């Protein structure tokens, strides 16, 4: 590692409480940065946010710090820093970064026994993909702050669930400009531990063993930390009142599973935003110009996952009516194709996978496209998929009238009905165990 740039990774967040996955972020990021061949990660810092952050259920920073310290006893390179949480007011992330950068640089310059060739350490922000998604929430981050975070310092971002951080970069001019300073780390072992879900389990008296270190679980029990009462901390007294910070945290939590749509009007009142109409679950984005309206992203069904077919009715009849030849029909009805669905807002990639043939659809809800059904019945259609509530409804205009399909989710099953005229088929899919856990952890209310 000689000659490499020393790097310190800083993670800012609530850590309410710290989980195994927070600590995994550091390990994943260190491996990734070492693989660049450029960096040598010398330290990691966990910086819990101050109590003034005002996020629902945020317990006192002295407890969050104590839990993080207990958890990180097993790490020989990541430590907890209390500077941020000791500040009188909530501290913007870039301010915390500047503080740590200056501190590290001063230590470096004061060090007597540095090899002359040694580079000054760099500092980069370590975060999950949901954190990076919050950059696009108007009024939440100042542009010059994002510019400084990614341009001057740099970002190491670990994938989270189905969020696609490369898309967030592509869609942001600012992030694209500094792309070389944004390092995306792919977590192949899907691990959707979320502090919110941990608190929920604790409130319900359910086990959180193996999600948190035992020492942290003991600390929580000893101090009776996560109760129904603690969760109401910072909760708005009226369901109708939302603050921008509230919006931010809801955004971070829900952006993983949302689609755009509803606009509701909001009136300004004592620097808070009051709505008559907003009901959870929603995500609101403050309007940049007027602060007088918010756009709401309504949380809808989550189609993400690798779905296994569990049953199939009438598919052969359907193919027969489409004039598909008997050989293909026989093969198709014997197969149990899986559906690999990636959903990012209204953008869907649905892969139908089987040992015989694969069929991919890549579409944005509401946008018509030409669909080439080669390998199915070899026809072409002009296809549009729209939302009907939580259902995805597809209309395939072409030679055959009334052709289309509908997908929807009931409990943890994916349903598909395909039809044209009066012929239809029905298929059911379920998620294998791991993914069900992942979904439950991420998206259940
Ligand atoms: N399972 C995870 N995968 C990837 N990143 C994660 C994961 N859990 C937390 N992070 C990241 O860790 C940092 C600190 O997270 P934070 O303290 O807000 O915890 P959280 O689990 O996201 O909380 P909550 O579920 O309450 O929103 C953020 O950058 C967040 O994106
Ligand atoms: N403008 C900013 O600097 C800004 C805005 C929103 C959140 N944050 C930070 O992001 C982190 C978010 O943590 P949570 O996901 O727990 O809400 C916190 O450390 C918070 O201070 C920074």
Q: Which residue has the tokens 């009462």?
A: 229
Query: What tokens appear for 181 in the block?
Result: 């300073």
Regarding the beta carbon of 248 and ligand 2, being less than 6 Å apart is answered yes
- Tell me the pLDDT tens digit for each residue of 269-326: 333 333 322 222 333 333 333 333 334 334 456 788 888 888 888 888 888 888 888 8
What per-residue confidence (pLDDT) applies to 254?
39
ipTM of the complex in this document = 0.97
Smallest CA-to-CA distance from 386 within 407, 359, 414, 415 is with: 407
Regarding the beta carbon of 249 and ligand 2, being less than 6 Å apart is answered yes
Q: Running DSSP on this structure, what letter comes out for residue 421?
A: T
- Tell me the pLDDT tens digit for each residue of 419-445: 887 788 888 877 653 222 222 222 222
For residues 120 and 5, give the distance between their C-alpha atoms in angstroms, rounded to a whole number: 8
Kindly give the number of the ligand 1 atom that is closest to the alpha carbon of 127.
29
For residues 203 and 200, give the distance between their C-alpha atoms in angstroms, rounded to a whole number: 5
- Tell me the pLDDT tens digit for each residue of 370-413: 998 887 788 899 999 998 878 899 999 988 888 999 998 876 78
Highest mean pLDDT among 109-123, 248-262, 380-394: 380-394
Average pLDDT over residues 220-235: 86
% pLDDT > 70, the chain: 79
- Tell me the pLDDT tens digit for each residue of 119-174: 789 999 999 999 998 888 766 788 899 999 999 999 999 998 877 788 889 989 99
Mutate to test the pocket of ligand 1, among 165, 168, 189, 194 (most ligand atoms within 8 A of CB): 194
| Residue 55's pLDDT band (cuts 50, 70, 90) | confident
Contact at 8 Å (CB) between 9 and 30? yes
Q: How far is CA 114 from CA 3, 28, 102, 117, 121, in A?
A: 13, 28, 18, 8, 12
Q: Running DSSP on this structure, what letter comes out for residue 135?
A: G
Smallest CA-to-CA distance from 97 within 173, 159, 8 is with: 8
Contact at 8 Å (CB) between 24 and 210? no
What per-residue confidence (pLDDT) applies to 116?
54
- Tell me the pLDDT tens digit for each residue of 320-359: 888 888 888 888 777 788 899 998 878 999 998 887 778 8
User: Which alpha helices (H) appear in 72-213, and where do they start and end?
Assistant: 83-86, 93-110, 129-133, 143-147, 165-171, 173-177, 195-203
As for ligand 1, residues whose beta carbon falls within 6 Å of it are 11, 13-15, 21-22, 25, 127-128, 130-131, 158, 160, 191-196, 252-253
Angle at 222 between CA 58 and CA 66, to 5 degrees: 55
Angle at 191 between CA 186 and CA 197, to 5 degrees: 135
**Ligand 2 centre and the CA of 208: distance in Å?**
25
């Amino acid at each position: 590692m000689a000659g490499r740039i020393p790097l310190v990774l800083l993670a800012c967040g609530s850590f309410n409480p710290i989980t195994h996955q927070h600590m995994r972020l550091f390990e994943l990021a260190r491996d990734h940065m070492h693989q660049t061949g450029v960096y040598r990660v010398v330290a990691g810092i966990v910086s819990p946010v101050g109590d003034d952050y005002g996020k629902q259920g945020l317990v006192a920073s002295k407890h969050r710090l104590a839990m993080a310290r207990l958890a990180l006893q097993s790490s020989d390179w990541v430590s907890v820093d209390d500077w941020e949480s000791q500040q009188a007011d909530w501290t913007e992330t870039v301010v915390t970064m500047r503080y740590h950068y200056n501190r590290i640089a001063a230590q470096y310059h004061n060090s007597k026994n540095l090899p002359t060739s040694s580079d000054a350490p760099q500092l980069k922000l370590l975060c999950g993909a949901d954190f990076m998604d919050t950059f696009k929430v108007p009024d939440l981050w100042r542009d010059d702050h994002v510019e400084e975070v990614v341009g001057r310092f740099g970002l190491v971002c670990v994938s989270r669930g189905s969020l696609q951080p490369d898309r967030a970069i592509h869609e942001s001019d600012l992030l694209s400009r500094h792309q070389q300073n944004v390092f995306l780390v792919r977590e192949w072992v899907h691990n959707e531990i979320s502090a919110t879900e941990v608190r929920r389990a604790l409130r319900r008296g359910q086990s959180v063993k193996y999600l948190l270190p035992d020492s942290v679980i003991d600390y929580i029990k000893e101090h009776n930390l996560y109760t129904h009462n603690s969760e109401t901390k910072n909760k708005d007294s009226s369901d109708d009142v939302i603050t921008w910070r509230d919006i931010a945290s809801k955004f971070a939590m829900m952006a993983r599973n949302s689609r755009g749509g509803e606009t509701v009007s909001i009136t300004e009142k004592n620097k808070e935003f009051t709505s008559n109409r907003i009901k959870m679950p929603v995500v609101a984005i403050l309007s940049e110009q007027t602060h007088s309206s918010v756009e709401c992203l309504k949380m809808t069904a989550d189609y993400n996952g690798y779905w296994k077919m569990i049953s199939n009715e009438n598919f052969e009849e359907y193919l027969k009516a489409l004039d598909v030849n008997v050989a293909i029909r026989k093969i198709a009805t014997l197969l149990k194709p899986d559906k690999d669905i990636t959903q990012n807002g209204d953008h869907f990639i649905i892969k139908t996978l089987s040992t015989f043939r694969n069929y991919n659809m890549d579409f944005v809800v509401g946008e018509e496209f030409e669909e080439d059904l080669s390998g199915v019945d070899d026809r072409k259609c002009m296809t549009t998929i729209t939302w009907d509530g939580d259902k995805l409804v597809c209309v395939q205009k072409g030679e055959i009238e009334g052709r289309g399909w509908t997908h929807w989710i009931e409990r943890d099953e994916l349903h598909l009905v395909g039809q044209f005229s009066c012929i239809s088929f029905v298929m059911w899919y379920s998620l294998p165990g791991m993914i069900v856990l992942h979904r439950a952890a991420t998206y259940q209310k």
